[in-house]
Amino acid sequence: MDASDSALLGVAGVVAATVVVAVLVAGALFGFDESVARPFALLAAEPFAWIVVVALVVAVLGHSYLE
């Protein structure tokens, strides 16, 4: 696997993990009968969450290209 494949796989993993965690946490907080879009609205409104997601993406990209 070359660096670009590793970077793409890592970014996809970060995005998938963010989606899964957002849905599970929102389901635990608000109940699973609420709208599916609600966790993403909360994620979009929270700037700290975006800082964490961007930091994870930068770490994945740095790791794949420094390997």
| Distance (Å, whole) CA 39 – CA 37 | 6
Which residue range forms the structural domain that includes residue 43?
3-66
User: pLDDT tens, 16-64?
Assistant: 888 788 777 777 777 766 666 676 777 777 788 778 878 888 888 887 7
Total domains in the chain come to: 1
Q: How far apart are CA 43 and CA 50, in angstroms?
A: 8
Give pTM, 2 decimals: 0.61
Q: What is the DSSP letter of 55?
A: H
Distance, in Å, from the CA atom of 59 to the CA atom of 22, rounded to the nearest integer, reads 20
